[in-house]
Structure 1
Amino acid sequence: MEKTAGIMEVPQHEVVVPVTARAAAAEAVEDVVYGSAAGVIGKYIEYPFDTVKVRLQSQPDNLPLRYKGPVDCFRQSIKADGLLGLYRGITAPLVGAAAETSSLFFFERLGREAIYLSG
């Protein structure tokens, strides 16, 4: 390596990593499994808050308010329906979250590899 005028030349090495079809398939399955798990876990954490938000937003304007705020909505919902009442109707959003997040994981890896290979 030469040092000239404060500039250091760095040797470049091209690394070729053979990717077999089996390795690519294994990575794709990994992306789908981990992405699905991440989507489902995230939806289980987020869904009760979304339920409360929807209940607060759907209160009619022309009648007295049923809930005073988010905390009151949580309390009344758990008192009336139990904790599982906050998760009513979660099946379809779970499927959607699993599909969306697994796709994000998969295509993020493909994009990263394409950028890396393009130089």
Structure 2
Amino acid sequence: MRCYFTLFIFLPVSLSLRCLKCSASSQNSSCYEKPSLHRSQHCESPHCQVWKLYSEITGQIYMFERGCSWTCARGCVTLADMENRFISCSSCCETDNCNNDNAASVTCAFQVLGAVTLFTSCVRLFVHSTL
């Protein structure tokens, strides 16, 4: 009986997902370049995530994060900032410490194209409605 009780105590911890956790404000940080140097955390959420916000014009990364996530929104979205053309990208995975790459840096062309098309349509509607 005592053996079974011990097993049940450790069962929830052993089944929880572990994700690397760190954040940075540039790609010259260890979070971006050497994620294995950062700690791994137990997550209650079902996904590990890599997320970044960068300028399409300059390529400069403004924010970069690794961690746990409740939702999984894979891909990239162009934000409505005409000067810098900020792009937000994220990738997700579901195994221990799987967020050890820079998969969020892969641009998903179809999603970016869809966001640009939607933005262009909104601008056209606005221009036509003001004429």
TM range (shorter): 0.3 to 0.5
Higher relative contact order (CA 8 A, sep 6+): 1
Name the one with the larger strand percent: 2
TM-score, scaled relative to structure 1: 0.32
Name the one with the larger helix percent: 1
